[in-house]
Structure 1
Amino acid sequence: MNADGVRERARSVPREPGVYQFQEGETTLYVGKAVDLRNRIGSYADPRSARIRRMVDRADGIEIAVTDTETQALLLEANLIKRHQPRYNVRLKDDKSYPMVQLTDHEAPRIEITRDPAESATVFGPYTNKGQVETVVKALRETYGVRGCSDHKYAGRDRPCLDYEMGLCTAPCTREIDLESYGEDVTAVERFFEGETGILADPLRREMEAAAEDRNFERAANLRDRLETVEAFHGAGGEAVQSVGDERAVDVLGVAIEGEDATVARLRAENGKLVDRDRHTMDAPGAAGFPAGHADEGGEGVPAVLAAFIVQYYAERDLPDALLLPERHGDDEVAAWLDAEGVAVRVPGAGREAKLVELALKNARRNVGGRDECGMLADAIGIDAARRIEGFDVSHAQGKSAVGSNVTFVEGSAEKADYRRKKLPDRNDDYDNMRALVAWRAARAVEGRDDRPDPDLLVIDGGEGQLGAARDALAEAGWDVPAIALAKAEERVIAPDREYSWPSDAPHLHLLQRVRDEAHRFAVQYHQTIRDEVTTVLDDVPGVGPETRKQLLGRFGSVENVREASIEDLRSVEGIGEKTAETIQSRL
């Protein structure tokens, strides 16, 4: 749109509060809020920054939504930004990608790390360091014996499993421990996650000292490392939050910006006690390096990030009694909303509150370089971004029980909710298997049958042959996604037009190795499941021969689905009568 087009559109807009969207066809480029829509939209006829000028030039239309109040406009803006992820807005990424720890709502709760907690569970987190969380959960299980098995494995046991023998579980399934005593151990675990570090650190320290006295120095060193992780889990700075006045809940924000990426660290204090810490990444195009305009033209630096974070984060969460910020956010509408909601906003200069803000800033700065390996990989192979990567591998035994894996990494971390697997036709040809696997993924993407976003990069486990097969499948489907391969033998990175030889300690090589190794693990695991179940479970059922087995798997897709099928469903398969159906159900 040119200046005249913007002015003409502004004349038809009411002088009321609301939200506006700059559109390029069906794509939303920018979402903004305004107390007076006509004045705000008219100001875009003379943009105050080069970035906003480019946005206006790209736009071919402006949509508006009138609201009753400024607060409604503020919250509607946050929801639209979350839904459309506009290129020119500061955008909060989905914090569901961070791992959490949950204790399930069962008679004998289990502990697990998850990114999708159950509504009925007791949940702690989210946390940003998954490795640290895994170490802590293992230490808790070894100390308090809380189970980690699935409900399927827990039910109907007549003897404890291997976890009991390894000292990871006290076996409430077979009542090796009574439920009352088990509940006390679960309470101890909850107390640790609520901030009582000593409940785990003290027994670990005693065990470490005993191992050292017994001259078991390797065990003592392992316990020392675990103790350090446990003691660092809740972080430093708790002494800074002994009292924060009469306010029950106080959130402290710190911001660090690198290029177009920002990290916001949030500390939560309740009743004078530090109870939660998390970090959130944000896309912040133009957050630095452009002249300052009014807030809805994107703003600049830390104030723009703070304003965007406060609205987008708290639009779906309870507001605290007070917010402590490193500097003013500078957005009048956000200030009016917080004031109307009774939230005190302070920028402390000294004292205990200033120490808290500095702690939040340290947390933010620690994470801001976390995108380096993704950015370095994108730069090294000449693509726009490598934030979302999908890895592919196939597994079979001389062509039998062939399967394929499709794993997903986001910002360098495994996104297990987006893992997929595929059973492939039995054939002893790695190239054809890879071609079929990638063709399946590409077809689903092109036809809109896959609910995952398109990745920035595909990583193929293998060499030139596997990469060539994958690229053939991509070309045939018309799915335009860059692909490279990583060969195991020499860790060669193979692109369509060249090979890369990177140092063994290169962060971007380590990222590719993690994706490749996880794809391999996931494929082998699925292959073993298919192979073992097909050759033992169904083959051992009287009346089920190779042809009947094939019919069952063809009808239900997996042994697990056969196990869950009713007698009537089983009888619908050709060659299976009442007696055989009953036998299958009882044996599985």
Structure 2
Amino acid sequence: MQPQSVRERAGDLPTEPGVYQFLDGETTLYVGKAVDVRSRVRSYADPRSARIARMVREADAIDVAVTDTETQALLLEANLIKRHQPRYNVRLKDDKSYPMVQLTDHDVPRIEITRDPDESATVFGPYTKKTRVETVVKALRETYGIRGCSDHKYSGRDRPCLDFEMGLCTAPCTGEISVDAYSEDVDPVRRFLEGETGILADPLESGMQEAAAAKDFERAANLRDRLAAVERFHGEGGEAVQAYDDANTVDVLGVAIEGEEATVARLRSEGGKLVDRDRFTLAAPYGADEGVPTVIAAFVVQHYAERDLPDALLLPERHDDEEVAAWLDAEGVAVRVPGAGREAKLIDLALKNARRNVGGRDECGMLADALEIDAARRIEGFDVSHAQGKSAVGSDVTFVGGSAEKADYRRKKLDDENDDYANMRRLITWRAARAVEGRDDRPDPDLLLIDGGKGQLEAAREALEAEGWDVPAVGLAKSEERVITPDREHAWPSDAPHLHLLQRVRDEAHRFAVQYHQTIRDDVRTVLDDVPGIGPETRKRLLGRFGSVENVREATLDDLTSVDGVGQKTAETVKSRL
């Protein structure tokens, strides 16, 4: 759009609070908020930065939504940025939800870790360390026998599952424990999750002492580690934060910008104790030429739009956004930029956390540059595994910021076929269809990595094109460690960090696929399993002697009895059953 076009469009806009979007066709380039939409949009006729000037030139339309209040405009802007991810906004990336623990609303409740709790469930959390949550939930199940199975697995059972044998469940599904007795066991679990640590810590400590007395030191060490996780579960101390009388919760922010990405580190204090630390990545187009204040304003709105605000917010610099300032003031949040003292030390600590995260993203940026794509922060790796076409499976692993995101791993059973290209095509078709139809709850990746050479990559690209999923894909084969793209092969140095990143993704996809294949292969059954008198060893000898069930079926009685462990009666039973 030309400056005159912007002025003309602005003249038709209201002078009320609202949100505006600069569009290029159906693509949202930029989202902004304003107390006076007409005045703010008119200002884009004379852009304040080269980044904004470029955005205006690319836009061909401006869309506007009016709101009743400034706060509504602020929150609508945050939601639109998260939904459309406009390239010219500073935007929070991969804003993951934290794991929670829920006790479902059943007569026989189950306990589970989830990021999307049921509306009717009793929910505890969120928690920041999933591994600690997993340790504690397993300890609760071992101590109180609470079920963790789905409703589908729970219903219609005639015998307890493996969890009962392992001591993880008291098996109310088959009446091994009454509903009333089970409810009595659920009560201490609920009390622990509400904060009564001793409910679980005491039996763990007793078990640890008993194991040590019995010289079962391995179990004692295991219980010691669980006890430590339990005792830290409801909050652990760290550096003390000066808590003022009017500030029960304090969030401390540190910001670091490198290239077109920024990191915000957040420290949280409750009751004078540092109880949480986390980091967030934001896309800061063109280095966010307005600097740290722009990143702070964008983060505060997008992060807290769906979360409780703290009582106080400590910042390394003022954000200079009048709408954000008015919103925080209306919500009663005290905003401070400390220059000295304990609070300034906390700002320094937050800055160190932010800068450390920035340094860890180099290989992702280098990979994106080398492949000439927009980003490579979120990568999904794919591989297939089978045994001469049998027990075929596919893996889909996810790496974010160079690290495995195991909660986003997926796996898929495939049709048995001894064709790696066809198997890869099926696997990518499955993933692409789920993405296009909105059935996959994960964000779209920046890059797909195919374990294999040119043939596997071509099969994957055919699937992507057929499903209409526009995501870059490359291949990496083990033979020469060459990165294969649709139009060329890259022979990067063996010590290149971005090559190491792809190798980690490829190797993890391969490991995950092989692991699943082995599980499926070991579970394979044949009709021989249902023949009385045929156990696993005899079945193995029969299949080893004749090669297949079909050949066993065609064998004579004399042939069958020639196999060790197969007598005349068993041979006759095999013949009649097959």
- TM-score (norm. length: structure 2): 0.73
Q: 2-side partners of 1:149 and 1:476: how far apart?
A: 37
Partner SS for 1:44: helix
Q: 2-side partners of 1:97 and 1:527: how far apart?
A: 35
Q: 2-side partners of 1:215 and 1:401: how far apart?
A: 44
- Alignment partner, residue 253 of structure 2: 254
Q: Displacement, 1:333?
A: 1.2
- Alignment partner, residue 435 of structure 1: 425
- Alignment partner, residue 161 of structure 1: 161
CA contact (8 A) 2:453 2:484 kept: no
The size of the alignment, in residue pairs, is 518
Choose the corresponding residue for 2:511, options 510, 517, 520.
517
CA contact (8 A) 1:127 1:133 kept: yes
CA contact (8 A) 1:400 1:428 kept: yes
Q: 2-side partners of 1:234 and 1:327: how far apart?
A: 32
**Residue 183, structure 1, aligned to residue 182, structure 2:** no
Structure 2 CA distance for partners of 1:416 and 1:252, relative to 1, 3 Å: closer
Q: 2-side partners of 1:479 and 1:500: how far apart?
A: 28
Q: 1-side partners of 2:240 and 2:364: how far apart?
A: 35
Q: 2-side partners of 1:125 and 1:255: how far apart?
A: 25
Structure 2 CA distance for partners of 1:395 and 1:276, relative to 1, 3 Å: same
Q: 1-side partners of 2:313 and 2:6: how far apart?
A: 37
Q: Displacement, 1:21?
A: 1.4
Q: Displacement, 1:87?
A: 1.1
- Alignment partner, residue 47 of structure 1: 47
Q: 2-side partners of 1:112 and 1:366: how far apart?
A: 33
CA contact (8 A) 1:252 1:357 kept: no
Choose the corresponding residue for 2:484, options 495, 519, 525.
495
Q: 2-side partners of 1:376 and 1:34: how far apart?
A: 37
Partner SS for 2:48: coil
Aligned partner letter, 1:283: L
- Alignment partner, residue 131 of structure 1: 131
Choose the corresponding residue for 2:382, options 375, 378, 392.
392
Aligned ranges for residues 106-505 of structure 1 at < 5 Å?
Answer: 106-157=106-157, 160-173=160-173, 174-176=175-177, 178-191=181-194, 194=195, 204=204, 207-208=207-208, 211=211, 215-223=215-223, 225-226=225-226, 229-230=229-230, 236-237=236-237, 240=240, 244-245=244-245, 250-259=249-258, 260-265=261-266, 267=268, 269=270, 272=271, 277=276, 279=278, 281-286=280-285, 290=289, 292=290, 300-301=291-292, 303-347=293-337, 371=361, 374-375=364-365, 377-378=367-368, 383-396=373-386, 398-400=388-390, 402-406=392-396, 408-411=398-401, 412-414=403-405, 419=410, 421=412, 423-424=414-415, 426-439=416-429, 441=431, 448-449=436-437, 454-462=444-452, 465-471=455-461, 473-474=463-464, 481-485=471-475, 492=481, 494-496=483-485, 497-498=489-490, 502=494
- Alignment partner, residue 548 of structure 2: none
Q: Displacement, 1:86?
A: 1.1
- Alignment partner, residue 297 of structure 1: none
Partner SS for 2:45: coil
Range that drifts further, 15-24 or 398-407: 398-407
CA contact (8 A) 1:164 1:170 kept: yes
Q: 2-side partners of 1:169 and 1:244: how far apart?
A: 46
- TM-score (norm. length: structure 1): 0.72
Q: Highest CA radius of gyration, 1 or 2? A: 2
Structure 2 CA distance for partners of 1:209 and 1:345, relative to 1, 3 Å: same
- Tell me the C-alpha RMSD between the 2 structures: 4.4
Q: 2-side partners of 1:504 and 1:176: how far apart?
A: 59
CA contact (8 A) 1:238 1:274 kept: yes
Q: Displacement, 1:427?
A: 2.7
1:417-468 deviation line (CA, Å, top 9, x unaligned) = 78474643x43222332234335555776xx445556532223344555345
Range that drifts further, 498-507 or 320-329: 498-507
Structure 2 CA distance for partners of 1:4 and 1:277, relative to 1, 3 Å: same
CA contact (8 A) 2:94 2:281 kept: no
Structure 1: where are the runs of 5+ without partners?
293-299, 541-588
Structure 2 CA distance for partners of 1:435 and 1:264, relative to 1, 3 Å: same
Structure 2 CA distance for partners of 1:365 and 1:391, relative to 1, 3 Å: same
- Alignment partner, residue 65 of structure 2: 65
Range that drifts further, 339-348 or 410-419: 410-419
Aligned ranges for residues 18-97 of structure 1 at < 5 Å?
Answer: 18-93=18-93, 95-97=95-97
Structure 2 CA distance for partners of 1:186 and 1:60, relative to 1, 3 Å: same
Q: Displacement, 1:345?
A: 3.3
Q: 2-side partners of 1:372 and 1:47: how far apart?
A: 32
Q: Displacement, 1:470?
A: 3.0
Aligned partner letter, 2:182: L
Partner SS for 2:113: strand
- Alignment partner, residue 576 of structure 2: none
1:129-153 deviation line (CA, Å, top 9, x unaligned) = 4334333433443444433222333
Structure 2: where are the runs of 5+ without partners?
532-578
1:374-425 deviation line (CA, Å, top 9, x unaligned) = 446545666442233333333555435655454555554447578474643x
Q: Displacement, 1:157?
A: 4.8
